[in-house]
């Protein structure tokens, strides 16, 4: 009796590991765990393997049912080898980690494909989410940084391996310092890390804000998307200004991308994008519109549909799931 093999998709992040198992495009199991913070890559790999097993069990499946595994990871990747060269956000991934081969070994040699986390997230939305109606789109993931992924003629387009860096398009020559060391990148205004640097500097200079009080009350050490959302709901002026700057820079970058590519759609996702939702997307659109060359035919600008499952679903789609 022939049985259809299932596909596992893993979204490896700095704070969580999300895994789904798909059969015939349908999710039959999923699991999520915090990313181990011990600094030992083996712990991360064990956790990935664990989430795959848990997801299989949730679907009443066993290791033998698993056909292929896709993994989306941040950092620099040697896709051919399935290795991660450096992923600063993942504890212990400071040197080359043979991620694919090691996960494969845990499942009796099942084939594992490793790709960029943002790319697979955009792929997930394109094939199973908000991007289904479109063949040419840009996904912009607004989180700690600002990542992006391009779909051209229905396929992920990564150029020579690094296309999609809308976060490092120039929003303002000579403008704010970016995490990448340059000035004026979109990410210097719209990335959560850059926004936090600016908020801390303003607070040190005596500007009032509820951001850090909200952060502490939640036992956080960082300004998370939820902290920004709560501060915004409370009418915090500094947060309003930070979001205004972020949407301004995104508007410029996205308009330039649109004028260059004449896209059908732009999907706004990522931690901050998903959390701030439609009002955030509306402001990005309002900032983008004045810079559109063909103003009569703007792209659809939509939110993600899969939310924080998008990366894992996309990783499964990557390997045929």
Q: Smaller CB distance to its own copies: residue 26 or 262? A: 262
220 contacts its own copies (rule: CB under 8 A) = no
Q: What are phi and psi of 181, to 5 degrees?
A: 100, -20
Stretch that binds its own copies, among 28-36, 150-158, 225-233, 309-317 (CB under 8 A): 150-158
Residue selected from 170, 215, 229, 316 as contacting its own copies according to rule CB under 8 A: 170
Q: Smaller CB distance to its own copies: residue 21 or 263? A: 263
Nearest CA among 143, 202, 203, 145 for reference residue 179: 145
Place of tokens 């999520």: 32
- The tokens describing 114, both together, are 């490793």
78 contacts its own copies (rule: CB under 8 A) = no
Q: Smaller CB distance to its own copies: residue 96 or 291? A: 291
- The tokens describing 73, both together, are 């990871």
Q: How far apart are CA 41 and CA 320, in angstroms?
A: 27
Q: Smaller CB distance to its own copies: residue 86 or 163? A: 163
Q: What is the CA radius of gyration of the chain?
A: 20
Q: What are phi and psi of 110, to 5 degrees?
A: -60, 145
Residue selected from 1, 95, 109, 160 as contacting its own copies according to rule CB under 8 A: 160
On whether the CB atoms of residues 56 and 62 are closer than 8 A, the answer is yes
**Calculated CA dihedral for residues 69, 40, 73, 32, nearest 10 degrees:** 70
- The tokens describing 122, both together, are 């955009």
Residue selected from 180, 202, 238, 300 as contacting its own copies according to rule CB under 8 A: 180
240 contacts its own copies (rule: CB under 8 A) = no
Shortest Å distance, C-beta 196 to its own copies = 21
157 contacts its own copies (rule: CB under 8 A) = yes
Which residues, numbered 244-303, are part of the site for its own copies (CB under 8 A)? 248, 252-253, 255-257, 259-264, 290-291, 293-294, 297
Nearest CA among 178, 187, 199 for reference residue 141: 187
CB burial class (10 A; 0-12, 13-18, 19+) of residue 95?
exposed
Nearest CA among 148, 193, 139 for reference residue 167: 148
Q: Smaller CB distance to its own copies: residue 83 or 140? A: 140
Stretch that binds its own copies, among 17-25, 92-100, 161-169, 212-220 (CB under 8 A): 161-169
153 contacts its own copies (rule: CB under 8 A) = yes
Residues that bind its own copies (CB under 8 A): 136, 148, 150, 152-153, 157-166, 168-173, 180, 182, 185, 248, 252-253, 255-257, 259-264, 290-291, 293-294, 297
């Amino acid at each position: 009796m022939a049985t259809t093999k299932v596909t596992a998709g893993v979204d490896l992040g700095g704070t969580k590991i999300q895994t789904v198992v798909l059969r015939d495009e349908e999710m039959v199991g999923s699991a999520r765990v915090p990313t181990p913070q011990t600094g030992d890559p083996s712990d991360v790999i064990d956790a990935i393997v664990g989430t795959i097993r848990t997801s299989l069990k949730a679907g009443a499946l066993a290791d033998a049912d698993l056909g292929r595994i896709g993994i989306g990871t941040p950092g620099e990747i040697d896709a051919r080898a399935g290795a991660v060269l450096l992923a600063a956000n993942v504890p212990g991934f400071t040197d080359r980690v043979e991620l694919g081969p090691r996960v494969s070994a845990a499942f009796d040699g099942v084939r594992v494909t490793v790709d960029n986390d943002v790319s697979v997230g955009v792929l997930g939305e394109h094939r199973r989410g908000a991007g289904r109606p479109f063949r040419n789109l840009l996904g912009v993931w607004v989180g700690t940084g600002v990542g992006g992924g391009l779909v051209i003629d229905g396929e992920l387009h990564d150029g020579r391996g690094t296309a999609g860096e809308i976060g490092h398009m120039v929003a303002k020559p000579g403008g704010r310092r970016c995490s990448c060391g340059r000035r004026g990148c979109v990410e210097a205004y719209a990335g959560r890390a850059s926004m936090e640097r600016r908020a801390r500097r303003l607070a040190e200079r005596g500007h009032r804000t509820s951001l850090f009080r909200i952060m502490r009350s939640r036992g956080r050490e960082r300004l998370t998307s939820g902290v920004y959302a709560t501060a915004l709901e409370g009418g915090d002026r500094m947060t309003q200004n930070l979001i205004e700057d972020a949407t301004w820079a995104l508007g410029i970058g996205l308009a330039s991308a649109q004028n260059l590519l004449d896209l059908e759609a732009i999907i706004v996702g990522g931690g901050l994008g998903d959390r701030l939702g439609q009002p955030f997307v509306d402001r990005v659109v309002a900032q983008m519109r004045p810079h559109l060359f063909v103003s009569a035919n703007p792209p659809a600008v939509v939110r993600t549909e899969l939310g924080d499952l998008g990366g894992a679903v996309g990783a499964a789609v990557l390997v045929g799931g």
